[in-house]
Amino acid sequence: MNYEAIVIGVSSGGLNALKFLFSYLPENFRIPVIIVQHINRHSDSNWIKILNNLNSIHIKEADEKETIEPGKVYIAPPNYHLMIENDRTFSLTIDELVNFARPSIDVLFESAAEVYNNKLIGIVLTGSNSDGTKGLKRIKNHGGLTIAQDPATAESPQMPASAIASIQVDHILSLGGIKDLLIKIAGDID
């Protein structure tokens, strides 16, 4: 299967999880990655700088109407929901909080499922609420690949545990297992 995008949802404990994943992804990783990380709406972008120092994959905040490109990693800006439009550009909104969050993982996942269908990988990592469960279900219903971090390995197990309890997730893996699977999938595309 040639996957065209990866969406990742992460909350508490997220920076450590993302640092682990991005320190191991190969520099030639071509599948675009789009991330919602629950962060304070007044946060600066220092944590993005930390991730950018791990390897040469370019990590940036998503901009309104920006076209999604292979080999790039996009992160939802603080206090904006991030959605993907049919033309594979980003849309940012300040609509109401969803699951007590803006940005919301479900908002990203649900819009991505509508655009990418079975060519999408959805991943729920560490976090302390149920955001991402509904969106991961939508990805599954559209034929996409669904992955949840093994709650026993998550700093905050509630978010992946919620996804696992609610849907038949394709893979339940440690961060190391997720990293290995993503590298294998990317290698199969080349």
| 87 labelled catalytic | no
24-71 pLDDT per residue, tens: 888 889 999 999 998 766 566 676 777 767 777 888 999 999 999 999
Catalytic residue among 12, 38, 81, 104: 38
- What's the pLDDT score for residue 187? 82
pLDDT tens digits for the chain (190 residues)? 799 999 999 998 888 999 999 888 888 899 999 999 987 665 666 767 777 677 778 889 999 999 999 999 999 999 999 999 999 999 999 988 887 788 999 999 999 999 999 999 999 999 999 999 999 999 999 999 999 999 999 999 999 999 999 999 999 999 999 999 999 998 865 4
State the catalytic residue, choosing from 104, 111, 131, 162.
131
Residue 190 annotated among the catalytic residues of the structure: no
Taking alpha carbons only, the member of 167, 74, 151 closest to residue 112 is: 74
pTM of the model: 0.93
Residue listed under structure tokens 């999880």: 17
Hey, which residues does 148 pair with through a beta bridge? 124, 172
Residue 25: how many CB atoms within 10 A of its CB? 18
Q: Domains of the chain by range and CATH?
A: 5-189 (3.40.50.180)
